[in-house]
A and B are shown apart, each in its own frame.
Chain A
Amino acid sequence: MDRPAQIKFPIPEEELVYSGHTACPGCGAALAMKYVLKGLGPRTIIVIPPSCMGTIAAGFPFSSLKIPVLRIPFESTAISASGIRAALDVMGKEDIHVLAWAGDGGTFDIGLQALSGAAERNDNIIYVCYDNEGYMNTGIQRSSSTPAGAWTTTTPAPFVKDTPKKDIVRIMAAHNIPYIATASIGYPADLIRKVKKAKEIGGTRFILIFSPCPTGWRYSPEMTIRLAKLGTETGIFPLYEIENGEKYTLSSKRPEKPLRDYFALQGRFRNLTKENLQQFEERVEKEREYLKRLAG
C-alpha cells in the first residue's frame, strides 16, 4: 500500500511473526507479540512458558516466530531468560536481546518468585507480560490479574471474583529496576516506542501489555482494539513508565470515558453490580491520583 511520503510511520514494517499462527481471531496477545518483535528486531532470543503464546508459537516442528524460541517450564520464565543471558555473556555474545514472555498467570502467579529473583539481581533481560486477566490457554480460569466482578470458569456467577486485580506494576516498582512500562495493543506506536526505549537500557526491564481476549472476556473478536483503547480511555489500564523505581511518566491522558462503556461490551462483567461499578470508579480515581502525584 502506498503511503504519502510526508507521513512518519512509527511502526517498523519488518514482520517477525508469521501469518497462519494458531491464535483465536481477534487475539490481543498475538498483536502484542507482533509489536514487541517489531521493536526488538531479529537479534532476539525468546523464552515462552505454558501460555496461549506457547500454543500460538506453534507445535513441533513448526514455529510462527522468526526468532529462536525455547519453551520453558511455567514457573521459570524470568530465570530461563537469565540463564540464556549468562551463557551469552560468558560466550561474549552481548549484542543479542533476551526476551522473557509470559501471560498474567505465568507472571502474577506461578512465575512471580523467579521474576522477583531476576529483578532483584537486575538480570539483563526484557520481561514482557501480556495481560489478558486470566488463564485463557487452559480455558478461562481466574488468575490474580482477573479484576473483581469478572466471571471466569473458576469464578462462576454468582460467585464472581470478589478481590481486585493484583498490582504487579507496584510490585515490580518496589524492585527499583531500571525500566517498567505499561502499554496496550490499542496504542502500537506507544508500545513500540517503549520497547525500543527498554532495548537501549541494561538490567531488568518489565513491560506489561494490556491484551484483550475475545474468547475469555466474552466479546466479539472485531472489538479487540476498541476494548484495548477503552481500557485506557476509561482509566482501567493507565499507560505510564517508571524509571529506576522513582521517575514516573504518564503516557495516557486523564480518563475521559465512563467505565460502563468498557464493561458493557464484555460478557464476563454481566454480573457486575452497581456496588462493583462504584468500587471500580473509586479505585480508578485513586490510582489516577496516585500516578499523578508520583509523576509530579
Chain B
Amino acid sequence: MKKVISANQAVSYAVVAAKAQVIAAYPITPQSSIVEMLAGFCATGALQAKFINVESEHSAMAACISASVMGARTFTATSSQGLALMHELLHYASGLRLPIVMANVNRALASPFNLKADLSDSLSQRDTGWLQFYCESGQEVFDTIIQSYRISEKLLLPVMVNLEGFILSHTYEIVDLPEQSQVDLFLPPAPARECLDVDNPCMFGSTTDYYINFRYKMHQDMEEAKTFCSEIDAEFKKVFGRDYGLVSTYLCEDADLILVTAGTIAGTCRVVADRCRARGMKVGVLRIRMVRPFPGKQICEPLRKAKKVAVIDRDFSPGCGGIFAQEVKASLQGINCGLPVYEFIAGLGGKDVTDKDIELIIEQTHNMPNRGESTWIGLLK
C-alpha cells in the first residue's frame, strides 16, 4: 500500500512489519516521532511488543542488549548526543554478537547545539562493530530496516540505519508499504537464542584472554557481511522489486569526474550531473550506502576509470578532514591508481547543500590542477 509518510514514520512502520518484540527508547530531536509512533502501536496492539520507557539512551541500549541475549527481536532509535551516550554499549552489543537494529537520525553533536543533519554522530561510532547503512529516501529507510533484521540475525552483528535529521526524517514522500505476508516471507521470526537458560546455566560476557580471537571472528564476519548484504539485497529485490547495493552509481561508466557522497546530498548531485552532461561535461555520482563494513572494492571499481574524484562530506573529523574522503582515499591506496581525490566539507549542522554548491564543487575540482586541503562550502559571512 502506498502512503505519503515521513522517513521517521517509515522507520516505525518497518519496525511494526518486522514484528520487533522489545523496544526501549528515549526521546531526542529529531528522532522523537519514531518513539511516539511506536509507543502508540504498542498501546493499540498493532505491535505486540514490550515498550520500555527508559530514562536514558544508555539504558535504552542496555535493555536492547539483555533482551537480545534472550533472543527477543529488539529495536531502538536515537540521534546525536543520545548515540554518543550509548557509545560504551555499542561496543558491548557487537562484542556479545547481538542482532540489534537501531535507527539513528543524524544530527550535529554539541557544542554549540545544533539540531540539524550532520553525519559525524554515527561516523564517530564506526569502530564499534556495528554495520552502518546511510539512506537517501523514506522507501530506502523502510526497506533497509527490514533488510537489517535479516542481516543482523544471520551475522549476529548489530546494524545501525542512518537517516539525516529533518532533511530526510521529516520529509513526507510516497513510501510503498508492503503486505505483511510479503515481509513475513522475507523475514522469518527471530531464531531462538537459548543463552541464558535456567536448565543449562552458563555465563556470558566474562573476562577472557581469548579476547583477540573474539575480535578476529568479528573481523571475519564483517568481511563476510559485504557478500551477505549483497545477497540479501538481491533476495529483497526478488520479493519487493527494489534493491540498493552497497554503493549506488549514476553515470559513472564513462565519467571523467565522479562525485562521491552519502545520504540525501546524492540526489542533488544527480540533478547537477545531468546538467553537466547536457553541457558535455562527463560527471558521475557514487553514493556510499554501506559504511561498515566499508565496501572499498565496490567503491574503487567505478572510480578507477575516472580522472578526478570529489568527495562531499556532511561530516568532519577535526584535524583530519572529511571522514568519507579519508575512507575513500584509504581504499584507493589499495589499488594504487594515483587518482586525485578532492575533498569538500559541506552541509554541516543541517546547512542546505544546493545545486549551486555542487556546481561550485565540480568547477573547483575541474579547474584545480592539484588537490589541496579540504574546501569548506557554505561558510556564513
Contact = CB atoms under 8 A, between A and B. Distances in A.
Interface of A: 42-45, 47, 54-55, 57-63, 65-73, 75-76, 79-84, 86-91, 96, 113-114, 116-117, 120-121, 123
Interface stretch (B121-129, B191-199, B226-234, B311-319): B191-199
B89 A76 contact: yes
Contact of A114 (B59, B195, B203): B59
Interface in B35-83: 48-50, 52-56, 58-59, 62-72
B207 interface: yes
15 contacts: A59-B206, A59-B207, A61-B208, A71-B205, A79-B52, A79-B59, A79-B62, A79-B63, A80-B63, A80-B66, A83-B52, A84-B67, A90-B48, A91-B70, A96-B198
A60 B66 contact: no
Contact of A80 (B53, B65, B208): B65
A125 to B, nearest CB: 11
Contact-residue size bin, chain B (C-beta under 8 Å from the other chain): 35 or more
Nearest to A95: B198
A70 B196 contact: yes
Contacts of A67: 198, 201
A72 B198 contact: no
A113 B26 CA distance: 14
B67 A83 contact: yes
B22 interface: yes
B56 A70 contact: no
Given A59-B206, A89-B50, A84 B66 contact: yes
A80 B65 CA distance: 7
B88 interface: yes
A113 B202 CA distance: 28
Most buried by B among A42, A55, A80, A86: A86
Contacts of B196: 45, 68-70, 84
A58 B88 contact: no
B63 A82 contact: yes
A121 B197 CA distance: 26
A86 B69 contact: no
A87 B206 contact: no
A57 B206 CA distance: 9
Most buried by B among A42, A63, A70, A117: A70
Contact of B71 (A45, A79, A87, A113): A87
A116 B58 CA distance: 14
Contact of B195 (A57, A62, A68): A68
B55 A117 contact: yes
Contact of A113 (B55, B89, B201): B55
Contacts of B203: 57-58, 60, 62-63, 65, 68-71
B22 A86 contact: yes
Given A87-B71, A114-B56, 16 more contacts: A60-B210, A70-B66, A70-B69, A70-B204, A79-B54, A79-B63, A80-B65, A86-B50, A87-B22, A87-B50, A87-B66, A88-B70, A90-B49, A113-B59, A114-B55, A114-B62
B309 interface: no
Contacts of B207: 54-55, 59-60
Nearest to B56: A113
A87 B72 contact: yes
Contacts of A121: 52-53
Contacts of A55: 207
A73 B88 contact: yes
A45 B72 contact: no
A54 B208 CA distance: 13
Given A67-B201, A91-B72, A83 B206 contact: no
